[in-house]
Structures are given as C-alpha cells and as structure tokens.
Chains A and B, each alone.
Chain A
Amino acid sequence: MTPSDAGRAAPSDPVSAGRDGAGRAAPPVAIGIIGAGRHAAALADHQAPLGDVRIARWAASPGGTDLSVIREMAVRIEAPFARDWEAVARDPGIPAVLVLSETAGATVAAEAALGAGKIVFCAAPTATRTEEVNRLAGAAAGGRGVLLAGGAIRHSPAGREALRLIGGDELGPLHSLFGSVRLPMTGNGDRSAQRAVLEEAGWDLLDFIVAATPAQPSRVHAQVDALFGSGTPDTAVCIIRFENDLIATIEIARCLPPSVPAAAEGEIEIEVIGGRGAVRLEPAATAVGVYGPVTALRPWLDAPVISMLHELAAAAGGRTPGTDGVVEVRRSVALMEAIRAAAARPAAGPESG
C-alpha cells in the first residue's frame, strides 16, 4: 500500500502502520486518531517504536479544518488517512480512539466514539461546558465506552513525575500551587490569538490542578483583562482556595514580547509546595531553547501524545484506568465555569471620594 492509498483502506483493514512492536507477545492495539491539535507534529516526529500501539487510521476533525495537516501527518507515520472522522469513531475494528481535535470538534468526536463503545482518550479540553460533559457521560453510559482524559502537562514526563510525588504524599499536605502560562504577545499568528487567553491556554493547567488535588474549590477569584492591546482578554489572574486549604494561584497572559525566546505555545511554569517538600516544573529546565526565529522545541510538552497513546493501549488491553475521565473532565469544567463566573462579576471599582 502506498500512502496515497491509505485513505481508502477498509475500516478494519489490518494494515501495519509501522513502528508496531515487533517481537512483543501481544499484538499492538489498533488505535484510531481523530484530529491534529497541537500534538500532531510531535507524533509525526516521534522516531521510536510505539510498541503496544498501531495507528490504524487517522482522520480529520469534525468540520475538516485540519484535513490537509492530517493527510501530511498520516503520510509521515505511514498510517492510513481517513477523511471521515465518524468512520474512525465507529469502526468496529478499532477498539480505541485518540481525539486530538480542537475544542468543539473534540467533544463531538469523543461523544460519537464513546457511543460506539470505544475506549477514548480525549486530550484537554475534552469539553468546555457542563452540558457537554453530560453528553459525554450519557454517551459513555449508553455505549459502554470508557473515557480517558487529560492535558499535555499532566501527561508530560515532568508532569507525571510531579503528580506521582504529590499523589504519593512525598510532599506532605499541599499548601500552595502556582502555575503560570506566558504566551507570545502577538499570539501564534493564527486564530488562537483571537480567543480569550483563559479558554485558549487555561485548560491544561486546570487539568493538572484537578489531578493534583481531589478537593473542590471553596472560593474562586478571577480577573480577566485585555492589557496588551490585542482587543481580546489576554491576561487572567486567578486565586483559588480549595476545601482542603490548598491555595492555587494561576496567571495566564499573552504578554511575551517578540524578543523573549519562547515556544509558540509559550512558557509553562508550575510550583507545588507541600509541608515536607516541593516540586517545580520550570520552562528553562525542560525546554530546548532555540534563540532565533525557529520555534523552540518543547520535549516535555511534545511527549504527552505518546503517553496518551500508551495509556489508551493499556486500557484497551484490559488494564483498569487509574482515573474516570468523565469525572476528571467534569471537575475541570466545573473549575473553569467557576472562574468564568468570578471573572464575569463586576470588578470592584475605586471608591468615590
């Protein structure tokens, strides 16, 4: 089969997608991918064998906005390309689906795949509204599908290790969590710059926070401003107190001038402080800085897609997921909705006199 033939592959065509784990006892799990998102390039550039994973089909997102990108990516990893995302979502030969679509398409694709009984990993944001979470929950229940969810930070090597330390209680009781995302002031040169920065760049951070603490927020303060002339909200500062007394401070801003050498996805920094220890995820230590016009590589953010694939394969292979994706997504969405509500309240203006 040639790459150009790939898109015409039969739904259950056992085409080898390459990089499957030769020599392993168990056959690799056939995984369909829907959408490109920002992870696609990382997968396409991934050189190591995927082992327990076989990319069975890769389809464009609902709406087809990423069709040309995915066609190219599919060729690069020698995976069958599909125009029709629904065919992937419902392909009986594909037990597991990785959804990498952008927000609106992600929910639709995940819902369809769950309804078809698939094990679905949907990268954050899986949903952005409670009603969307309810639809996902209904689809999972009706179709007996299983949802895994999570963002790039949580599934990065550094993020996973940080969460292991937090979950293992090595840090002691958590006191504070500081997270910042600094994005280029002019945006990525695409439509992302037109979106409110919280919706554009806040989900991965919220997903990490939800993974770090089981507690519910008890008080949320948020202020969202357009400070840097973009005309859209480009700065968000949130202070969240949780029922377990953890205080999280989040600052997301599209504030980096062109002279700051940062990846297009910006700089992400997280610091979690507990009674016995602390962890820091520092952009300077984890990114490969490229000083010049070339976008800096982000190994700790590019690796998560590989992690997601393996997690998906493990679940498809019978291993019980460590978390319930519907619950996780519901918590992230609830936290974001609380932040939106706080930000929407009138700002406390100056007193008269």
Chain B
Amino acid sequence: MRNLSDRVTLVAAADLDRQAAQAAAAPWGADPYTDGRQVVDRPDVEVIVIATPEAAHREWTVAAAAAGKHVLCEKPMAPSLEDADAMIDACRRAGVHLMIGHSRRFTRRYMEIRRTIDRGEIGAVRLIRENERRAGARAGTPGYYTGAHWTGDPAVSVGAALTNGIHEADLLRWFAGAEPVAVFAEQKITIEGNRGVPDFVTWTARFANGAVGSSEISNCLPAGYPAFHQFEAYGVRGAIRARDHELVSLTRFHDGGADYPESGRILLHNQTAYDREHAAFIDTVRTGASLPMPPEEARAALRLALAAVESARAGRVVSLAPASAGRPPADFAAGHHEIRAAGNHETNAGGASEVRA
C-alpha cells in the first residue's frame, strides 16, 4: 500500500496483537486497535483490507459490508463455499465492492501467460502444471504449519490446499479457460510438530473442455531448498514455461545452509503484483470500473481447492457439476452441496492385492 500513498491513506489498523497493529499503523500515522470493530465503525474508512486467517473472512466481510465499506480480502476467500457465498451476498446487498487478493492474477508473468493464451499462440491449452516449493521455517521465524504459526492451527487452517493451493486452483482454471469437472488429490503432513494440518498436497483436475491441470505444493521443505514455482502449459501448437528454479538469482550460504533471499521478491514479483492488485481495486472503488478479479472467480477457485481437500480426505475422485467457464455460476445457492463424491477412478486398499509383489 505504501507505493499507493498518493491515492490511499491508511487511517486505522487492527490486530489482536497490539504490537502488530502498531507496526502496521505507525508508518502512516494511523490509529492502532486491537479490535477490528473499531476500524469497521469509523466513518472515515472507505475500504477495509482483511488479512486475517480465512476462518474469519466471512465475519469481517459481512461486518464491513454492513457498515458500507468496500472489502479487499486476502486469499483464500473462505474455508467453505457457504462462507464465500455469504460474503458475496453481503457485499452485493450492501452495494459495495468485494475483491479477493489473488495476487498472481496481477503478476506480470502470469498476466503475460494469459495474454499469450488469449492470442492463440499455443493453440488450445491441453495440459497445465504449476508446482510450488518453499523451504520451511528459518531460524527466528515461525514456519508455516508449525505450532507457532496460525496455518498450523487446525481450528482456523484447512492446510496447503487452501493456504497456498488456492493460487494454483485459480491459475489452473484461468489458463484452462474452463471449470473443473473432476479432481483427485492426496495430502499429508510432512513436518514434526504439525498439529494435524496437511502441509503437502498434490492434485490433478480434469476440466470441462478436456484440459488437464495438476499441481503439487510443498512449503515445508528442508532448509536450503530454493523457493520456486514451476509452471508449464502445453497447447496443441506450442508451450509456455515459467520455471523459477532455472533462474535462481542469488544464493546465500551460511551456517544454516543456503537460502535464496531474492527468489520470493524478484522471481515472483510479489511486490509489484500487490501494487497492481491494490491499484486495480482502488480504481474500481474510485471510478466504478469493473473488478479485474470478481469474487465469483475467487469462489470458483475455492470450489476446486475444496474439492481437492474432499478428494484427499475421502481417497477418491470428486466430481463437480459443470459450470460456465470463467464465469460465475448463475445461482450461488447451490453452494457446497454441488461437491459430491463420484465413482472410483483409482484402486484402493481393497484392491491392493494386484499391486503387491
């Protein structure tokens, strides 16, 4: 937001942790609070940015909408489609804008990938893969999915399929140009001290237009492992690749091993993506321009990610009712009931005799 200081002013910041609230507020001379309600109730606030764990997104979005505030909410949109629908409905009723922070839609390379596909340069997209890798905790920082980080709290975190995989779910849909019709996933816990939140997920989805999209996400990797995204899209006439691990720009060696401090900032272009995302939302608020990332798109990504979670838990393929590619379903009332377990598409433990030596 600091790069948009000519267009926005932070007037208040709230966090349960007073120090965190003060740290966010201080550079702007804003007021720090420990209760979000105090921000929502301020009449001089036009936009609320919600950066809580997803379990609280519905509560704060509904509250902000009721107070007439526009909402820019962090991804994943919510832990359930029911929550997502409630958020969309609340904002629609209140006549305020809601956008979910799918920053990769604003990352230059993903934008260029989409433009390349739209120009027809690789023909119809048939196969997509996006793998994501991050090293686990470094000294002095609470690692994802550990007991010291909220992502490791099963009360508020669904796990890698949502915390990280929501990006991949969104990108696969965006580039496939269609909605998923079936998904299979496996997930697991890979780090000690994890209290039961899956930190690894791999999934493959089939889309309504026949394309296949897959993703594997592991963000608790051993120290020294480079952070990277491995994106590949293959069309009938060409291919697009964005493979960070071929482009490590800086490696730092120290007592704890090696790390790649520039990978997140430079290779993923996070900062510029956030700037573009925030600027686009502010434009919508100021000018009434259409949202570049409508909440229905975020809901559709959530639908895929939740289907992956369901598949991993049930150990079978989950099929999804067809929906219009790239557009919101006409009726959100269908909600989470549209996810149903489908017929088996895999061998299971009962059929293990055929796979044993």
Contacts and interface: CB of A to CB of B under 8 A. Distances in A.
A binds B: yes
Nearest to B352: A218
Contacts of B236: 228-229
Nearest to A352: B321
B204 interface: yes
Interface string B325-357: 000000000000010101111111101101111
A307 interface: no
A219 B342 contact: no
B349 A219 contact: yes
Interface residues of B, number: 59
Interface string B189-203: 011100000001011
Contacts of B320: 350-351
B345 A345 contact: yes
B225 A345 contact: no
B91 interface: no
A341 B347 contact: yes
Contact of B212 (A176, A225, A334, A352): A225
B225 A351 contact: no
Nearest to A274: B222
Interface in B204-232: 204, 206, 208, 210-212, 214, 216, 218, 221-222, 225
A334 B347 CA distance: 12
A247 B127 contact: no
Contacts of A348: 181-182, 317-319, 342-343, 345
Contacts of A253: 127, 234
B129 interface: yes
Given A225-B210, A235-B127, A347-B182, A175 B356 contact: no
21 contacts: A176-B190, A217-B352, A219-B347, A221-B345, A221-B346, A223-B184, A227-B126, A237-B204, A239-B202, A239-B204, A255-B239, A257-B238, A273-B221, A273-B225, A341-B354, A345-B346, A348-B182, A348-B318, A350-B319, A350-B322, A351-B319
A241 interface: yes
Interface in B158-212: 181-182, 184-186, 188, 190-192, 200, 202-204, 206, 208, 210-212
> Which residue among B318, B347, B348 has the maximum number of chain A CB atoms within 10 Å of its CB?
B347
Contact of A175 (B185, B190, B245, B349): B190
A291 to B, nearest CB: 15
Contact of A273 (B218, B234, B319): B218
A292 interface: no
B354 A334 contact: yes
Nearest to A249: B202
B188 A219 contact: no
A349 B218 contact: no
A176 B216 contact: yes
Given A227-B210, A247-B200, A275-B222, A342 B345 contact: yes
A346 B206 CA distance: 13
Nearest to B192: A275
Q: How large is the interface on A (under 10, 10 to 19, 20 to 34, 35 or more residues)?
A: 35 or more
B93 interface: no
Q: Closest 5 interchain pairs by CB?
A: A348-B342, A338-B355, A227-B126, A255-B234, A221-B346
B332 to A, nearest CB: 15
A175 B181 contact: no
A264 interface: no
Interface string A220-233: 11110101110000
Contacts of B203: 239
Nearest to A235: B127
A251 interface: yes
A349 B182 contact: yes
Given A219-B315, A351-B338, A345 B357 contact: no
Nearest to B225: A278
B354 A259 contact: no
A275 B191 CA distance: 7
Interface in B236-271: 236-239, 245-246
B319 A175 contact: no
A94 B104 CA distance: 62
B284 interface: no
Contact of B355 (A175, A256, A335): A335
A337 B206 contact: no
A159 B218 CA distance: 22
Given A176-B202, A282-B245, 7 more contacts: A172-B222, A217-B352, A223-B204, A273-B221, A278-B221, A284-B246, A345-B345
